[in-house]
Structure 1
């Protein structure tokens, strides 16, 4: 099996990055983590990646006059490390359509909501404000429109009556740590096939419904 050389782009602590690195330790996982790249020199995830033996690089967006220059510098790093696939994991920069087109169907992201609900920021606060009973996270292909790419996989969690944005966010983050490696394995391993705005997954099976609240 050929493992796809994968870069993880981060801006902060890199908790989803850690989950991906851990999953890729298995030699049967279809992706190997070849690079962790951050746009912030002080990102906590850089030290964690180095401690895990993963090469790191910094391309500080503040050192470039425009987004094209910033992305050209990122692209140079990706090419230098032989990267074939890219995961965004808390990468807090909007990518241009040109960069996204260059990595079409090889660029994925995880978002803390059940898309298409709650695109953008403050997803947990908005979920509580809307009174939803089920919330979650989504792994999707990246397209120029924010949080609008074809969905690869989703995980749902219940919303409890006493939840705050912090407690709900912690429950979603735990689900993210399981879902993102699974989504990467589907995309990098060829089991996920994009067809327009939908993604077909080979061997997918129906799951029991999650009901919230669950009554005795």
Structure 2
């Protein structure tokens, strides 16, 4: 009987380190790199030009967009979705059950987590399941996110609270809401959240 797990599957234009495991079936886009001791579980979809660092576990049944960077020692569990251009810092943590017990099976209670395009999660931050992280938000290292996060929000602390806004380039915005890095402009909408007006990035 053929083993569905392979140390070095033959994906066109994909780099899989010889120490990594990939459980079929999966889909992995061209240009993606999967490094030492990582494990991609079955029915996972990974986009193009992604980087999975050392000791990363993804899946099963996880969807990851294009140009996503997942640093060392991160587990992306079932129920978590990462859109394009998401950054996951070293040892950041996702969960998928709110009240786990070792002796109680709770797979039917998994809660989903959506990390939207361009969001960054700092090293050792924890994302409690059941929430959405908005586009281009920035979660500071060591923070614990236990609520939904608005687009462009800068989240800091335990529990994490919004302490400001960031641009698409990840720079903290002053009162003029102009990115000091690239000059892109933002404005607060009627809901009190930030939106991109125009400027360099796309």
TM-score range, shorter chain: under 0.3
Which is strand-richer, 1 or 2? 2
TM-score relative to the length of structure 1: 0.24
- Relative contact order, CA 8 A, sep 6+: which one is greater? 1
TM-score relative to the length of structure 2: 0.26
Which is helix-richer, 1 or 2? 1
